[in-house]
Amino acid sequence: MQVLRWDGGGPMLATRDSSTLTVLIGTFAVLWLLWAIKKQRKAAVHPLPPGPRGLPIVGYLPFVGTELHTKFHQLCGIYGPIYKVWLGNKLSIVISSPSLVKEVVRDQDAIFSNRDTNIVGRTITYGGADIALSLNCPNWKMLRKIFVREMLSPTNLDITLALRREEVRKTIRNVYDKKGTHIDLGDLAFITVMNAIMNMLWGGTLRGEEGAKFGAEFKHIFAELVMILGKPNVSDLFPALARFDLQGIRRKAKRISETIDRVLDYAIDKQIKSLAKAKEEGTTKTEQKDFLQVLLELSEQDDGAPSMIMTQIKALVFLS
């Protein structure tokens, strides 16, 4: 079909067929370009392991059930020792053989060490400032060196031996005072371990009734924290909903974090004043040295090594 168009100087001839052909060629070029890009991306990305099919948006989440380990064991029998599971918008890779675990946690640990932390973990660790949730970087290596060589060195463990021994003696006296009555050994062991840990953290800083008060408050906080850490959070599975905090878990974690912060601020302020007083008097605290004192002394060293900031000290003390 021919169409005549007047353009001042004379008639011009245009064809609808040529316009259609131009559109088709352009569309084909765009489709070919998109196909080439997609093929290139597929070639660059390694294929994922097999796994169960899920539903749109929620993935395999409705079929997991309450016993996660049992379901994962069942899926292992179907898909093998490594498989993928979509939980909401999060892709999880499950491994269940000793050889693969060894490959991940030891042989290739530098690759797999970084992890996607949940909201509660980031909130209580000051954005992942502790050794457990920090990314594999020079900062993490510094924290690991401090944790292993300083806090848990034989010398410092020997220094805190008196603190641990005192807690064990208190437990023995407590059992002796309750002779002839029923005793929950599990609860008793838990309290003894918690008291020993609290004593090692700041036993030389907060003594007597003051230390017992803060220890009891910390144990209550820790129990509540364990509950929300293990609670499934919709915000973790669907990051787009995180801003709404539908279950209120982030608010609870924030409240716990603020309580922990107040306790640690008090203990750190008291220890700093004690160290400053000892420095003015020309003496050094050598007895009843706790982890908090060790960290504060390390942060004040001027040996050219990277020093810790206060949030890292708090995170290490609380999650040691």
More confident residue, 115 or 23: 115
What the block records as the tokens of 229 is 């850490």
12/8 Cα distance (integer angstroms):
10
Q: What percent of the chain has pLDDT over 90?
A: 17
Cβ atoms of residues 89 and 239 within 8 Å: yes
81/85 Cα distance (integer angstroms):
13
Pseudo-torsion of CA 221, 190, 145, 142, nearest 10°?
Answer: -10
Question: What is the arithmetic mean of pLDDT over 299-314?
Answer: 69
- Which pLDDT does position 182 carry in this prediction? 86
pLDDT bracket for residue 285 (50, 70, 90): low
- Which pLDDT does position 15 carry in this prediction? 52
pLDDT tens for each residue of 216-243: 777 778 888 888 988 889 999 898 889 9
Cβ atoms of residues 163 and 288 within 8 Å: yes
pLDDT bracket for residue 262 (50, 70, 90): confident
Q: How many C-beta neighbours within 10 Å does residue 165 have? A: 12
Cβ atoms of residues 75 and 83 within 8 Å: yes
Give the single-character DSSP code of 239: G
pTM over 0.85: no
More confident residue, 179 or 41: 179
pLDDT bracket for residue 35 (50, 70, 90): low
Give CB contacts under 8 A, 24+ apart, made by 268-275. 268/292, 268/296, 268/310, 268/313, 268/314, 270/205, 270/206, 271/202, 271/205, 271/296, 272/296, 274/205, 275/300
